[in-house]
Structure 1
Amino acid sequence: MTDHVTQAYLDDESLHGVMGRLDLPPALRAAYGHRLVDRPFFLDEYTAHDVAADVLDFFELLFSLPRKMFGGSFTRFAEALGIPPEEAAIMGSDRPPMHGRADIYRVGDDFRLLEVNAGSQLGGPDLGELSRVIHSDPGFQPFVREHGLGYFHPVEKLLDAVGRDRTIAFLEEGGMLTRFAKGFASFRETCARLGVDVLLGELHELTTRDGYLYLHGTKLDVVVRYFSATQAVSHAETLAKGHKTELYTPLSSYYYGSKSTIALLSEHREVLDDDEKALVDRLVPWTRSVRDVPRDRLRADRENLIVKAAGGFAGAGVHPGWLMTDRDWVEMLDDVVKQPYVVQERVRPTPDVVPGDDRPWLTTWGWFVTDQGFAGMSIRSMPFADGAVVSYAGNPLTRVSGLLVH
C-alpha cells in the first residue's frame, strides 16, 4: 500500500522538481549530487520507530548468540562465523554499544531484513543531510507544513553517542580514506555544520604516547572506526596501547555484522523462545550457510536464491541466482562452498515509483539505530533492470535520496 504522503507527492506535479533545485552543501553535492533519485521518500514516524524497535530486538538477539549457542565461547562463535583466529584474537568479547544499520526491503505493508551492519563503519549517515536540505527547500515548505514532515539525522545521533566536546578522529586503513574521499569529506562537512571538527586519518598514521592515540600530533579522545578487524590485525599493538582513547565502535561489533549470524538464527530455531521465533519470522528470510545446504537444492532453486559473502560490504561477493545462468551459478557455488558464504531466499520487494520514469524502482531502506532507537535512514534506489545489488559504492547505477517522516 502506498503511503498517503507519497501518493500526495506523486499526484502533485508542481513538487516533482524539488531534487533538481536543492541547495546542497559543496561536499554533499560532490559526493551525491550526480546520483540523486528524482524524488524524496516518505514514511510515517510510527512505522519508522516500530521497525527500529524490531531491529533493536534483533541486535539483542545477535548479542545473545555466543551464550545461547556456544556456551559463552567467543572462540567457537568466531569459528562458526568463519572469522580467522588472528582477527578474533583482537576483537574481544565486550558487548558493543548499539550502533548499526539494517538493510531492509518493503514488501507491501511489511518490511523484510536482508542483512544487518553493526558498528560505526557504516556508509550513508550523511544522507541525513540530504533529508535536511529537502526539508528546508523553500518551494517544498508548503508540503512540509501541510503534512507535518520532519527528519532524523544519523550523523547527529553518532555525534551524540561519542560526545561532541571531545577530540574525534574518523579512521580508515589501506588507502580507503582516499578511495572514499568524497564520502568522508561529506561526513566532515556535516559534522562541521553541527559544530564538531573531526580529524581524518588512517591507522598507520597513529602514534602512541602516555596511553593515548595521536593523529598528526593531536591527542585523540575518540576514534570512530571505519576500518575492519582484518585491517586492524597488523596494528593490534598500537590499538592495545591506545586504551585511554575510546574506540567507537569496538572491534567486537564486527562479529554481529557478519551475515553468518543471520544464518545461525534462521537455522537454529531450537535456541529461541516463542517471542524470538516470532521476531525472526517477521524480519528474516530463510538464510543458511552455503556449506550446510544440499547442492541439489541450491542448483534446483537458483531463481529464488542469492548467495552473499558473510563479511562482504558494498555489494562485494553478492551473487543473485535469478541473474545468472545455470552454468555460472554452479561454478560460483563450487568456488565459495568452503568459504564463509551464506545463501538467502530471494525477497521480492514492492516496486517504487519515480515521477517521469515509467520503470519500476528497487529501494533498500537502511534503518540506522542506536541505543536511543531510530536514528535516521539511508535510502538507496535504482530501476530493477539495473541489477540486484543496491549499493552506492558497489553499483554505479545506484542512486540515493532522503527520507522525511510524518
Structure 2
Amino acid sequence: MTDRVTQSYLSDEGVHGAMGRLDLPPCFEANYGHRLVGRPFFLQDSVAHEIAADVLALFDLLSTLPARFFGGSFTRYAAALGIPPEEAALMSADRPPRHGRADLYRVGDRFRLLELNAGAHLGGVDLGELARVMRETPDFKPFAQAHGLGHHNPIEKLLDAVGRDRTIAFLEEGGMLARFAKGFASIQEACAHHGVDVLLGELHELTVREGHLHLRGTKLDVAVRYFSAKQAVGYADVLTKGHKTELYTPLSSYYYDNKSTLALLSERREELADAEKALVDKLLPWTRYLKDVPRDQVRADRENLIVKSAGEFAAKGVHPGWLVTDREWAALLDEVEGDAYVVQERVRPTPDEVPGDDRPWLTTWGWFVTDAGFAGMSIRAMPFEDGAVVSYAGNPLTRVSGLLTY
C-alpha cells in the first residue's frame, strides 16, 4: 500500500531532483553524501508513534524474561543467551533505559521486526539531520509545507535523554573510532548543531579520578556507549570504578538486544498472556535458537529462512538462505554448529519505488526509541538485486535517506 504523501511525491517530478541539491553539513556530506537514496520516505506520525509504543512494550516484555523463565537468575539467563561469563560479569541486573533502534520491514500496511539494537549497535543516529535539511531546501520546502511534513531527530532525543547540560563523551574501543571516523564526526557535528559539544574517545584513553571517568583529563558526566561487552572485558576495573559517570546505555542493555532474546520470546510464546501473544504476533517473525531446530528442517526450508549470529552487528554473521545453494547452505550450517546463532523466518518486504530507477528497492526502517517514545528514524535502502542485508556499515551498496512525517 502506498500512502498518499508518497504517491503525491512520486507523481510530482518537480521535487524529484531535490535530494541532489541538498546543502548538507560538511561532515554529514563526507560520510553519507555519496550514498543517498534518490528520495525521502514518508510516514503518518501516528503510525510512527504506534510502532514505537509497540517496540517499547516489547522491550518491557523482554525485561520480564529473567524473572519469568529463569527464577530471576541473570547468570542462567546470560548462559541461555550464549553470553560468555566474563562479559556477563560486567552487566548488572538493573533494568537499563529503553533506548535503542528496532529494524523493521514494511509488509503492506504492517511492519515486521528483524532485530533490536542498543548501545554498541546504534548507528545512524545522525540521519535525522537529512530530514531537517530536506525541509529547509528551497526546491522541496513548498511540498513539505503543502503536506504538513515534520520530522523527529534521533540526535535531539538522545541529547534530551542523557542531559544537554552535562559533559558527554561517545566511547568506542579497538580502533573503531578511527575505522568509523567519518560517522562519528557526523554525529559530533549534529550534536554541535543542536548546541552540545561532545567528546569522542576510546576505553583505553580513560582514567578514574575521584569516582568519575576522565577522558584525556576531562571529567565525564555521561559516556554514551558504542563499545561492546566483549571489548569492555579488559577494562572491567575502570568501568566498575567509574560508577559516578553514567554509562548510557549500560552493558546490561545487551541482555535485551541480543538476537537470542527474540528466539527465547518466540519459543516461549504459548506461555505468555493473550495481550503479550498479540504483541509478539504483530511484530516478531518465527525465530529460534539454531541449535534447537532439527537440521533437516533448516536444510529443507532454506528459501524461507535466514541464519544470524546472535551477538554480531553491521551484517556480520547474517546468512539469507534464499541467496545460496543447497550445498552452500549445508556447509554453512556445519560451520556454525555449536555457535550462538538464531534462525528466523524470512520476511518478504513490500518493494519501494525510487524516481528514475526502475528497480524495486528494499528498505529497512530503523525506529529509534527512548523512554520518552518515538525518537526518529534511520532509513537504509538498496535495490533488491544488491543483496538481502541492508546495512550501511556492512554492505557498501546500502544507501540512506530521511523520514518525514505527516
TM-score tier, shorter chain, comes to over 0.9
Shift of 1:141: 1.0
Cα deviation digits, residues 41-65 of structure 1 (max 9, x gap): 0001011011111111001011111
Shift of 1:118: 2.5
Q: Residues 121 and 210 (structure 1 numbering): CA distance in 2 closer, same or farther, change over 3 Å? A: farther
Aligned residues: 406
Query: In 2, distance between residues paired with 1:338 and 1:259?
Result: 16
1:296 aligns with 2:296: yes
2:94 maps to amino acid: D
Query: In 2, distance between residues paired with 1:156 and 1:192?
Result: 11
Contact 2:120/2:228 (CA < 8 Å) preserved in 1? Answer: no
Query: In 1, distance between residues paired with 2:274 and 2:94?
Result: 27
Shift of 1:267: 0.7
Shift of 1:271: 2.7
2:375 aligns with 375
1:343 aligns with 343
Cα deviation digits, residues 120-157 of structure 1 (max 9, x gap): 64000100001100111111111111100000000100
Query: In 2, distance between residues paired with 1:251 and 1:24?
Result: 34
Cα deviation digits, residues 316-372 of structure 1 (max 9, x gap): 000000001111101110111201100000000000000000000000000000111
2:17 aligns with 17
1:85 aligns with 2:85: yes
Cα deviation digits, residues 184-232 of structure 1 (max 9, x gap): 0000000001111101000000011111111111111111110000000
1:324 aligns with 2:328: no
Matches within 5 A, 1:349-364: 349-364=349-364
Question: Helix, strand or coil: the match of 1:139?
Answer: coil
Question: Helix, strand or coil: the match of 1:126?
Answer: helix
Structure 2's unaligned 5+ residue stretches are none
Question: Helix, strand or coil: the match of 1:148?
Answer: coil
Larger displacement relative to structure 2 (354-363 or 240-249): 240-249
TM-score of the superposed pair, with normalisation by structure 1: 0.99
2:48 aligns with 48
2:163 maps to amino acid: G
1:168 maps to amino acid: I
Question: Helix, strand or coil: the match of 1:397?
Answer: coil
Cα deviation digits, residues 13-55 of structure 1 (max 9, x gap): 0100011000000000001000000000000101101111111
Query: In 2, distance between residues paired with 1:342 and 1:170?
Result: 30
2:250 aligns with 250
TM-score of the superposed pair, with normalisation by structure 2: 0.99
2:224 aligns with 224
1:319 maps to amino acid: H
Larger displacement relative to structure 2 (395-404 or 267-276): 267-276
Query: In 1, distance between residues paired with 2:120 and 2:14?
Result: 39
2:134 aligns with 134
Question: Helix, strand or coil: the match of 2:377?
Answer: strand
Question: Helix, strand or coil: the match of 1:93?
Answer: coil
Contact 1:128/1:151 (CA < 8 Å) preserved in 2? Answer: yes
Contact 1:103/1:365 (CA < 8 Å) preserved in 2? Answer: yes
Query: In 2, distance between residues paired with 1:28 and 1:269?
Result: 42
Contact 1:364/1:390 (CA < 8 Å) preserved in 2? Answer: yes
Query: In 2, distance between residues paired with 1:69 and 1:359?
Result: 46
Larger displacement relative to structure 2 (115-124 or 185-194): 115-124
- Root mean square deviation of aligned Cα: 0.7
2:195 aligns with 195
Identity in percent: 75
2:145 aligns with 145
Q: Residues 149 and 120 (structure 1 numbering): CA distance in 2 closer, same or farther, change over 3 Å? A: farther
Contact 1:103/1:115 (CA < 8 Å) preserved in 2? Answer: yes
2:163 aligns with 163
Query: In 2, distance between residues paired with 1:103 and 1:165?
Result: 30
2:88 maps to amino acid: A
